[in-house]
């Protein structure tokens, strides 16, 4: 029995509101149940120093949780003076995941930053961030193509992410916070439309799992992402 009453392979309601902010070149507010993340894509006509002269662009991600996006208030990282290890880990994952579906040569010498700010958290904020960031990126690149700044589409496919885990001995899809905090194993899958894997991060918590467990989680994730890919296409259509 899942705390939410969902079936093991049942995802939370997904809603996507594109254009949530007006300044960003691409923007959406994505929700997986009570988890809500604002994803903004910013296009800048500059590249990191180490890319200069290569004729390539760059795609990167940043992530933050508003102090009271969580059950109890967390201290602001800007006030602490540094980003936590968790924040940096997630930022790196977002950037890597998006770059898995972008041809940086075709992007040209510009940088796109995907800012993922969690307005409300209920588990799965990093996977919602990746999923929403792809939408914001797609919108921003469509705009660049409409303006003629880019000739050929640099996006090679869709990328989305979902968490799965073993909860009370059962593999379940799309963990919410109560599940996430007591699951025996917790895995985040970043998948690419068509069946390829961009990233797997599977961690045992307390108990461990075996090859069979890993495969069952992967299959749940694939099922979940197929539905997410459809939502993404619908949002940017």
Q: Which residues are annotated as a binding site for phosphate?
A: 86, 124-126
Residue 174: name the closest of 54, 56, 8 by CA: 8
If one asks whether residue 119 binds a copy of itself (CB under 8 A), the answer comes out as yes
Residue written as token pair 């890919």: 229
- Contact status: 24 vs a copy of itself (CB under 8 A): yes
Q: Could you say which of 52, 78, 170, 181 contacts a copy of itself (CB under 8 A)?
A: 78
Contact 199, 187 (CB under 8 A): no
Pick the stretch among 52-60, 68-76, 141-149, 228-236 that binds a copy of itself (CB under 8 A).
68-76
Angstrom distances, CA of residue 221 to CA of 27, 41, 116: 25, 26, 22
The site string for a copy of itself over 3-22 (x = CB under 8 A, - otherwise) reads -----------------xxx
Quote the radius of gyration of the chain (alpha carbons, Å): 18
Applying CB under 8 A, which part among 72-80, 142-150, 164-172, 225-233 lies near a copy of itself? 72-80
User: Among 73, 149, 168, 230, which residue sits at the site for a copy of itself (rule: CB under 8 A)?
Assistant: 73
Closer by beta carbon to a copy of itself, 224 or else 234: 224
Query: Would you give the DSSP letter of residue 141?
Result: H
The dihedral formed by the CA atoms of 48, 141, 226 and 164, expressed in degrees to the nearest 10: 30
Q: At closest approach, how far in Å is the CB of 219 from a copy of itself?
A: 8
Task: For residue 234, give the H/E element and its range.
Answer: helix 211-236
Exactly one of 105, 208, 233, 234 binds a copy of itself (CB under 8 A); which one? 208
Annotated binding site: 86, 124-126
Residue 51 binds a copy of itself, judged by CB under 8 A:
no
Give residues 126-185 in contact with a copy of itself (rule: CB under 8 A): none
Q: Which of 17, 54, 105, 197 binds a copy of itself (CB under 8 A)?
A: 197
Q: What letter would DSSP give residue 158?
A: -
* Closest by Cα among 224, 199, 203 to 92: 199
**Residue 183 corresponds to which tokens in the numbers above?**
């699951």
Q: How far is the CB of 141 from a copy of itself (least distance, A)?
A: 16
The phi and psi torsions of 225 (rounded to 5 degrees) equal -70, -30
Name the residue nearer to a copy of itself (CB basis): 7 or 179. 179
């Amino acid at each position: 029995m899942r705390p939410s009453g969902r079936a093991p392979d049942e995802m939370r309601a997904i809603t996507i509101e594109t254009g949530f902010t007006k300044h960003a070149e691409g923007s959406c507010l994505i929700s997986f149940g009570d988890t809500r993340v604002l994803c903004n894509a910013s296009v800048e006509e500059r590249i990191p120093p180490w890319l200069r002269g290569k004729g390539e662009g760059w795609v990167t991600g940043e992530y933050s949780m508003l102090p009271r996006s969580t059950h109890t208030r967390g201290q602001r990282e800007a006030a602490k003076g540094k980003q936590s290890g968790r924040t940096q880990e997630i930022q790196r994952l977002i950037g890597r995941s998006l770059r898995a579906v972008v041809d940086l040569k075709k992007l040209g010498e510009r940088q796109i930053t995907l800012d993922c700010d969690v307005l409300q958290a209920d588990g799965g904020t990093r996977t919602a961030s990746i999923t929403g960031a792809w939408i914001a990126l797609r919108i921003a690149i469509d705009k660049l193509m409409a303006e003629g700044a880019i000739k050929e589409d640099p996006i090679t496919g869709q990328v989305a992410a979902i968490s799965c885990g073993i909860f009370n001995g059962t593999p379940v899809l799309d963990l919410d916070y109560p599940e996430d905090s007591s699951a025996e194993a917790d895995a985040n899958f970043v998948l690419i439309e068509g069946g390829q894997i961009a990233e797997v991060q599977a961690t045992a918590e307390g108990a461990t799992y075996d090859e069979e467990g890993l495969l069952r989680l992967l299959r749940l994730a694939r099922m979940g992402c197929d539905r997410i890919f459809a939502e993404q296409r619908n949002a940017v259509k």
